Structure 1
């Protein structure tokens, strides 16, 4: 099954938390990465089928923007990331995330 990666970057922690929550509730996706980006910006990445990642990212964007003071800095969806991208970037399923994989 073709998979996609969806990433949302926000200014501040509350919007990224709201985005992560909405994404895992908005589609059959797995949260695979979370980190502090820079200058108080946070990012969260999900993986799943293309048909599930797109609505999940949309739900995450809406939730982040509705959060008090929430600001989305950027977002992106990568359908069918090549194996060399998955091997290098921190977007692969880990032992922690694999048990939640749907």
Structure 2
């Protein structure tokens, strides 16, 4: 997942991630106060690679990266929260 401040930065990151690796968009959440969280899924290597590309791509938009994280093999209960 990547969390940014600003929709444009989140869309830019998602576009770069989808082009860089075999990942799928799971969720795109507008949290409030300009925070947007993009959640992707795929195999761990693809997601790790995509997150790094997304982090770099978002910088070009001038957006603010709040956080990013890769959770390998998330517990099934976690899906209920996200």
Q: Decide which structure has greater strand share.
A: 1
The answer to whether residue 12 in structure 2 is matched with residue 21 in structure 1 is no
**Helix, strand or coil at the partner of 1:54:** helix
> 2:56 maps to which residue?
62
Q: TM-score, normalised by structure 2?
A: 0.94
Q: 2: CA distance between counterparts of 1:70 and 1:40?
A: 10
**Structure 1 ranges of 4+ moved more than 3 A:** none
- Which of 68, 71, 78 is equivalent to 2:64? 71
**Helix, strand or coil at the partner of 2:71:** strand
Q: Which runs of 5+ in 1 are unaligned?
A: 1-6, 91-102
**Helix, strand or coil at the partner of 2:74:** coil
Q: 2: CA distance between counterparts of 1:89 and 1:27?
A: 25
Q: TM-score, normalised by structure 1?
A: 0.76
**CA RMSD after TM alignment:** 0.9
Deviations along 1:22-74, one digit per CA (max 9) or x if unpaired, are 1111110000100111211111000000010000000101011111x211011
Q: Which runs of 5+ in 2 are unaligned?
A: none
